[in-house]
Amino acid sequence: MKNIKKLKTIAIVIVLCGIGFIFYATIHSQNLIKKIEQQKLSANNIDNYLNSIPTSSYINTEAEESFLLPNYQDLEDDIKHTYYPSVGPTMLSNTDQWDQTKLKALYEELMQNQHGEEMNSLYKVYVHGEASQNAAADHLNSNEKIDFKIVFPAIPDSCKIQFKQVMGTINLYDGNQYTTIDSMAFVLSHEYGHHYTFYYMFDDDTTALESEYAKLRQIPEDKVEIVRSAIDDDYYINNHHWYLQEIAADDYVQLMGSPTAKKIINYSDINDILHGASSEWTYYSINGTPQENFLIQLAYETEGLYDYYYSFIDSNLAMTTHQKIPITITIQRKSKYHELINGSLTCIYYEITWDKVYGEDVVYTLVYYDPDNYDYVMPLKTVYSNQSALAYIGHVSYETSMYIYSQNDELATGKKTFVVTATFPDGTIYKSDPVEYNFD
Amino acid sequence: MKRKIRVLSLLCMMVILCGCMKLNVDCGIKKDHSAYLTYTIELDMKELSNDLKREVVSYFKEFTNRYEEYGFTSVTKNTDDSIDIVLTYQKSASNYEEAYENLKTMLNNPKISFLMSTDMTTVVEEYEQGFTFNADIDVSKIIETSYLNTLPYNINNMISDGIAKSEINFSLSLPQSTIVETNGDIQNVLGTTKIVFPVSLNEESSFNLIARMSIDNNKAVNGDINSLTIKNKQIISLYKTLIIVATTLVVVVSIGFVYLTIKQKKDKRKKA
């Protein structure tokens, strides 16, 4: 009996639980069915939403504007034009005479000068419109602080990285007067010569005297200058041609200068001018002023110098050796008498002749300087292959049936030393021995 | 006609080699409805000169300071050879829709975002949320307009080399979601769906993503809505089976109960 009671109790519990579960499961199933319907609805709505390609566009206009901002660089206030090449120095000018197009051309001219890795440390070439009191140009090596900054709205404006490097700057002056590449090429090449020689050859101190360059150049020890006086500008200017760095820069132009820097200038003497020769006068030229100091050998005449200059860079240029031959210069005093309506005119002039010892392909240029107070060399006359090796100074003249024409260059006074340079087609330049003449 | 020259001693050229940077831009929504934007910067400075290391450290210090002013928290680990910086901006919300709007606000803020354009939308239904995300970033343009060519050649080279060796990734994370379409790499880790977009340094990079996320009671749930529906149907089917079993059991037990009651009465009569 007891067992039956127990079984009945268990049966009641099971039945109640079963009914409870059936009730729960039914309710829950109903809920799940509803949930499934709602999930389907949600899914459909999301499908429709995603298929409709919704948009909510935002454009970062601040960033777009930042892309249009002028480039970041702390330029001097008066810079008007710039050219930024991918390799080499930044080209700048403060004059409209040197706009971006011309700066680009000047950059291309610079790159025509023989160069190597040292070009990477040339920071700027700056063409100044105005002239400088003391210089046609200068080269300066200085510790530059160069800022790199990314201009973007999400990068704070104050974030910048400063690079400190010794960098060279070339300043070219008088850009309003010298407005062509041709007129700047020689000076540019000379200044780049400073950059090149300081990079590879010596520092601006007395150790330069022990450099390989100084040994090759053999400048007289009692003449050579190294360190510029900080207080005596006049001494520096008066002895400029004896500064080792200037001689080295001149050597660079002769040995490694660009074709434009080494362009031959046609100098006309007083007789050419009297007969209407057009004036192409430019002071600096490879044939007239290959180097400032004519009291020493030219670069090509100095043994080992060519190879030494080219030893720092990769270059396929090979030096052609020309045998040096003495050039004999002859100076003859002459006069020409002219009868005038009221009296007469006697013109005293000098014919300077020399031998074309190197043949007709070579261009000869007569130059002179003051032997007692050497300061600079002055070109007088260029002679090409089809011309006689003859130059005039003094008072020259000629007559027509109606008129007498005369012109005096006032050069036939005092003492002068004459030298003839010979410029070969391959760029080699030699000079004759000097000939001194006293006109008084 | 004289040329003037002012020359300082030409010191040895400072040799500065490049360092490379790894930048990860992570953004997204967490399961708890918070939106976040994190910049992780790792800079290898082993090859930098000491001067340049100082400059770089100062650069990132300035960068971090400014971002802290914008509400970012920062963690900086600085050694002699490296800098690791983590900058995080986080904003909580009460639901995913609001979280997505917060994320949108972060990515559309030009002061803290490098994106050039965005197109972000969301819709919330009871059991599912849809997201669309399109964005562009143009690192090449940023580099181009930083005017490297105005710098000296060797510095330009050094920075360009550093940039070339650098790596930038952009990633967007959502609570586990179904990715309908994307041009990024999908990674599912611990209930989070992360889409990683590599950023090109040479051209504009575009990111796109269409995602949907199942939700229940305002919380993300694992699985897409179809699998959840199937799962529910399976539960219903199971319930049906169990109801039949339970009904059968109730009937059988009830019969047994009736049988026992009758038997008990018969036994009582016999005894009586």
Q: pLDDT tens digits, residue range A294-324?
A: 999 999 999 999 999 999 998 877 777 899 9
Query: In the structure encoding, which two tokens stand for residue A356, read together?
Result: 């074309």
Per-residue burial over A360-369, b = 16 or more CB atoms within 10 Å of its CB, e = otherwise: eebbbbbbbb
Contact B132 A54 (CB under 8 A): yes
Contact B125 A86 (CB under 8 A): no
Rounded CA-CA distance A398/A200 in Å is: 55
Does residue B4 belong to the interface with chain A, where contact is any CB pair within 8 Å?
Answer: yes
ipTM above 0.85, yes or no: no
Give per-residue pLDDT as tens, A148-203.
Answer: 888 889 999 888 888 888 889 999 999 999 999 999 999 999 999 999 999 999 98
Contact A46 B110 (CB under 8 A): no
Pick from A67, A87, A155: which is nearest to B153 by CB?
A87
> If you search the block for the tokens 């007498």, which residue do you land on?
A404
Does residue B204 belong to the interface with chain A, where contact is any CB pair within 8 Å?
Answer: no
> If you search the block for the tokens 């300082």, which residue do you land on?
B8
Contact A15 B254 (CB under 8 A): yes
Rounded CA-CA distance A123/A168 in Å is: 5
Pick from A36, A166, A376: which is nearest to B10 by CB?
A166
Rounded CA-CA distance A259/A250 in Å is: 15
Strand partners, A343: A340
Rounded CA-CA distance A218/A221 in Å is: 8
Pick from A1, A134, A245: which is nearest to B7 by CB?
A245
Contacts of B151 in chain A (CB under 8 A): 146, 148, 163
Q: Report the half-sphere exposure of B5 (CA within 13 A, side-chain side).
A: 28
Which residue from A151, A410, A114, A118 is spatially nearest to A262, judged by alpha carbons? Answer: A114
Does residue B6 belong to the interface with chain A, where contact is any CB pair within 8 Å?
Answer: yes
Does residue B258 belong to the interface with chain A, where contact is any CB pair within 8 Å?
Answer: no
Long-range Cβ contacts of A176-184 (<8 Å, 24+ apart): A176/A95, A176/A97, A176/A129, A176/A130, A177/A131, A179/A97, A179/A98, A179/A102, A181/A102, A181/A105, A181/A106, A181/A109, A181/A260, A182/A260, A182/A263, A182/A282, A183/A282, A184/A106, A184/A109, A184/A127
Rounded CA-CA distance B59/A163 in Å is: 12
Contact B123 A46 (CB under 8 A): yes
Contact B6 A228 (CB under 8 A): yes
Strand partners, A396: A407
Q: Count the residues in chain A.
A: 440
Pick from B104, B150, B240: which is nearest to A84 by CB?
B150
Contact A136 B119 (CB under 8 A): no
Contact B242 A62 (CB under 8 A): no
Contact B246 A18 (CB under 8 A): yes
- Determine how many CB atoms are found less than 10 A away from the CB of residue B47: 17
pLDDT in tens, chain B (272 residues): 333 322 222 222 223 334 588 999 999 999 999 999 999 999 998 888 888 889 899 999 999 999 999 999 999 999 989 999 999 999 999 999 999 999 999 999 999 999 999 999 999 888 899 999 999 999 888 887 777 767 777 788 888 888 888 899 999 999 989 999 999 999 998 889 999 999 998 899 999 999 999 988 888 888 777 888 888 888 989 989 999 999 999 999 999 889 988 988 888 888 87
SS3 B139: helix
pTM of the model: 0.69
Residue of A nearest to B49 (CA): A163
Check the CA dihedral B46-B47-B50-B53 and report its sign: negative
Helix (H) or strand (E) holding A331: strand A329-340
- What is the C-alpha R_g of chain B? 32
Name the B residues in 218-237 with CB < 8 Å from any A CB.
225-226, 228-229, 232-233, 235-236
Contacts of B250 in chain A (CB under 8 A): 14-15, 18-19, 22
Contacts of residue B264, defined as CB under 8 A and 6 or more positions apart, other chains included, come to: A1, A4, A8
Pick from B16, B145, B263: which is nearest to A151 by CB?
B145
Does residue B154 belong to the interface with chain A, where contact is any CB pair within 8 Å?
Answer: yes
